[in-house]
Amino acid sequence: MDQQNTSYDVIIIGAGSVGVPTAYFLSEAGFKALVLDSLPSVGQASNKHAIGGIRATHSEPSKIHLGNRSLAVFSAWKQEHGDDIEWQQGGYSFVAYDQANAAVLKELIAWQQQHDLNISWLNADQLLAVIPNLNPEGLLGGTFSPEDGSASPLKALYAFHKRAVQAGADFHFDERVLDFLRDGERITGVITNRGKYNSQWVINAAGGWAKEISSMIGLDVPVNPDSHEAAITEPVARIFEPMIVDMRSRPGSENFYYYQHPTGKIIFCMTPDPPILGMHTLASSNFLPKAARRLLEIMPILQHIRVRRVWRGTYPMTPDGSPIIGTVDGLDGFVLAVGMCGQGFMFGPGVGLLLTHLLLNELDEADKIILESLSYHRKFKSTEVLK
């Protein structure tokens, strides 16, 4: 081993959607951080498969807090740091074409507003004024939360990485964590294919590999990857602003969501039904015919648009659809920031801020709410309504 540093305040396993912004916030707060990733650069696993949606529109207080904090970071990033991360504040709209979904969405709104979410219900005419090309047939209305938006997962991670390095973080790529160092109940560092590193804290931010990493210390973490596909079209004139979510289930899919990128391209994604478990990253021939049908069902004006590329990645899923964040009883110095499901890009900065408060021992009321509801020790019984 050369003369590189082997002693850190905190080691972060995984330079993905969560690990990189976390390294930035911890380094800014004065922690000496090392980020380890087995891949050659930042954001090369699930992060680069995300379509970039960022929202505080959720049905759990913990997720509204995380989303709001992340939105504050993404929306101010260019102004504060000068990096263009393609932030676009187009809002989110969950649209309703059936009474059941309209009832679910309307019932949530009063509760969401009480939890500091800027959201309202628009009837069909009001919604068509915001998104004129929605299929009007059968449209009952939908929610609109104007402060949500989108950004580029790769550009955002490059920006967080650059600023984390400036703030003193070390990043080692092509370096795989193989095991942990421990002293009784305390985790004291990690062993990689290149050496050993000591630290006061080790954060598992290994996404779809969270279970494998945690099993090295005998901890069973219920995170299992399932695969999702997405597609991007050629660019067209600007026709709508918000991310649109259609919660109806259709043969082979649970829901469908899409938005128009600042370049004019349409990016769309759907949740397979039943889920496709496993770490698959090769695009299938099933996705596009089903997803294209869904796109045209909701926005027929796009019937002649050409699709340029399809890709497939994974969601690191938990049994209740919510992340697992915080410390673990009986394992000192070990922190989980895993199981981000379909929301790891949008939660990354919020998680980074939360973990910085945790390691500084400066938790505020919102931090405590998040840590309690996303604890490893919870029952995993509830289910997220707005997946």
Ligand X SMILES: Cc1cc2nc3c(=O)[nH]c(=O)nc-3n(C[C@H](O)[C@H](O)[C@H](O)COP(=O)(O)OP(=O)(O)OC[C@H]3O[C@@H](n4cnc5c(N)ncnc54)[C@H](O)[C@@H]3O)c2cc1C
Q: Which stretch binds ligand X (CB under 6 A): 45-53, 116-124, 131-139, 369-377?
A: 45-53
CA distances from 270 to 229, 246, 263, 321, 332 (A): 7, 9, 21, 16, 39
Applying CB under 6 A, which of residues 15, 108, 131, 291 lies at the interface with ligand X?
15
Question: Rounded to an integer, what distance in angstroms lies between the CA atom of residue 384 and that of residue 387?
Answer: 6
For tokens 């909701």, what's the residue? 298
Site string for ligand X, 167-186 (x = CB under 6 A): ---------xx---------
Nearer to ligand X, 23 or 205 (CB): 205
Q: How far is the CB of 211 from ligand X (least distance, A)?
A: 10
- Of 46-65, binders to ligand X (CB under 6 A) are 46-47, 49-53
**Nearer residue to ligand X within complex by CB, 317 or 371:** 317
Choose which of 344, 349, 350, 352 interacts with ligand X (CB under 6 A): 344
Write down the least CB distance from residue 184 to ligand X, Å: 23
Distance CA 91, CA 257 (A): 13
Peptide bond into 242 cis (omega under 30): no
Positive or negative: CA dihedral 363, 365, 367, 370: positive
Given the structure tokens 């294919």, which residue do they identify?
193
Contact with ligand X (CB under 6 A) among 10, 12, 19, 24: 19
Site for ligand X in 310-329 (CB under 6 A): 313-316
Query: x/- site string to ligand X, residues 61 to 90, per CB under 6 A?
Result: ------------------------------
Does the protein bind ligand X through residue 281 (CB under 6 A)? no
Tokens representing 45 are 């696993």
Task: Provide the sign of the torsion angle of the four alpha carbons 139, 53, 229, 324, taken in this order.
Answer: negative
340 binds ligand X (CB under 6 A): yes
Separation in Å, CA 343 to CA 227, 238, 330: 14, 26, 28
CB of 110 to ligand X, least distance (A): 26
CA distances from 313 to 15, 70, 342 (A): 16, 22, 11
Among residues 134, 230, 270, 291, the one that binds ligand X under rule CB under 6 A = 230
Part of the chain binding ligand X (CB under 6 A), chosen from 9-17, 25-33, 76-84, 378-386: 9-17
Verify binding: residue 145, ligand X, rule CB under 6 A.
no
Task: Kindly tell me which residue out of 10, 34, 36, 266 binds ligand X, with binding defined by CB under 6 A.
Answer: 36
In sequence order, what are the beta bridge partners of 180? Answer: 190
Q: Is 291 in the site for ligand X (CB under 6 A)?
A: no
Q: How far is the CB of 269 from ligand X (least distance, A)?
A: 5
Residues 180-219 that bind ligand X (CB under 6 A): 205-209, 213
Binding-site size, ligand X (CB under 6 A): 41
For ligand X, the binding residue among 10, 11, 12, 18 (CB under 6 A) is: 18
Give the one residue of 102, 269, 270, 324 binding ligand X; rule: CB under 6 A.
269
From the list 34-42, 57-65, 103-111, 356-364, the region that binds ligand X by CB under 6 A is: 34-42
Instruction: Please state the closest distance from residue 23 (CB atom) to ligand X, in A.
Output: 11
91 belongs to the binding site for ligand X (CB under 6 A): no
Residues at the interface with ligand X (CB under 6 A)? 13-19, 36-39, 44-47, 49-53, 176-177, 205-209, 213, 228, 230, 269, 313-316, 340, 342-346
